[in-house]
Amino acid sequence: MTKEWFTAAELAGQKGMPAHATNVTRKAKSQNWEYRQMTGLRGVNFEYHASSLPQETQEALGLEGVKKPIQAESSDSGMVTIQIYSAKAKTWSKAKSEAHMVLPKRYLPKSFSEQEQNQLFALEAPDSTMQPTIDIGEVVLVSKVANKADISTGVFVLETNMGITIKRLKPNLAGTEIKVCCDSDKFDDETLKREDFDKSTRLVGKILGTSIKELS
């Protein structure tokens, strides 16, 4: 069977392609290439279909005239489309979706309703505060939460006066204080009273994990 799916690393340096994989990925996003998600690797990784590549790249790969993949043309009830946001914006209201991914529903909690699935989005980790659990730039799967929602122990996307970030929250039993933690030992944790937390921080969503790596 002719190979039709290629990673950014495989395409980098090919005729008509940028020299570096990261620039191939940017090109794929900007031109809305057909892609599929790879499993078995750390984080969220994609392969791109030959039909989306420039003609000169297709010719260099010996695949000119390849047809669009059938699975990309049809709707699959076993899949869910999730928007991927960049955290470059200083406030969540200004964050924009820059791409999307198609995620198998089997990766979601079995109890998730269709309405809860509609509350999902993905985010490129904006900083290194959660390393080694989450690397900067790694795409994480997030479930939207109400800003003043009750907080359970977990990893959350937050908006602070410093911008959008990801932190591990650990409320006390009474819910009156919240410990805001970084998994990286290069950053300090802090404990805030709930009312002070609400004044300084906006809850955006709770991280479920990535397509293959769960966060504990």
Domains of the chain by range and CATH?
A: 5-73 (1.10.10.10), 80-209 (2.10.109.10)
pTM more than 0.75? no
pLDDT of residue 44: 57
pLDDT band at 11; cut points 50, 70, 90: very high
Compute the distance between CA of residue 216 and CA of residue 150 in angstroms, rounded to an integer: 19
Average pLDDT of the chain is 82
Count of CB atoms situated within 10 Å of the CB of 184? 14
Q: Which two tokens stand for residue 35?
A: 């892609």
pLDDT higher than threshold 60 for residue 72: no
Alpha helix positions (H), 36-161: 55-60, 70-73, 114-117
pLDDT band at 179; cut points 50, 70, 90: very high
Q: How confident is the model over 157-168, as a mean pLDDT?
A: 92
Compute the distance between CA of residue 175 and CA of residue 172 in angstroms, rounded to an integer: 5
pLDDT band at 157; cut points 50, 70, 90: very high
Highest mean pLDDT among 46-50, 53-57, 91-95, 103-107: 53-57
State the residue for tokens 């006390």. 172
Question: In terms of pLDDT, which residue wins out, 26 or 68?
Answer: 26
Compute the distance between CA of residue 188 and CA of residue 186 in angstroms, rounded to an integer: 7
Of 102, 101, 56, 69, which Cα lies nearest the Cα of 2?
69
Q: How confident is the model over 189-197, as a mean pLDDT?
A: 95
Letter string b/e over residues 29-65, b meaning 16 or more CB atoms within 10 A of that residue's CB: beeebbbebeeeeebbbbbbbbbbbeeebbeebebee
pLDDT of residue 196: 95
pLDDT higher than threshold 90 for residue 118: no
Question: In terms of pLDDT, which residue wins out, 186 or 86?
Answer: 186
Of 204, 216, 208, which Cα lies nearest the Cα of 107?
208
Q: Which two tokens stand for residue 204?
A: 């955006």
pLDDT higher than threshold 50 for residue 211: no
State the residue for tokens 């495989």. 10
Sign of CA dihedral 26, 30, 33, 35: positive
pLDDT higher than threshold 90 for residue 89: no
**What pLDDT, in 10s, does the model give residues 19-45?**
998 899 889 888 888 887 665 445 557
Q: Tell me the sheet residues that pair with 154.
A: 169
Which of the residue ranges 104-113, 119-128, 147-156, 192-201 would you say has the lowest mean pLDDT? 104-113
State the residue for tokens 């078995």. 40
State the residue for tokens 């809850």. 203
Compute the distance between CA of residue 182 and CA of residue 168 in angstroms, rounded to an integer: 6
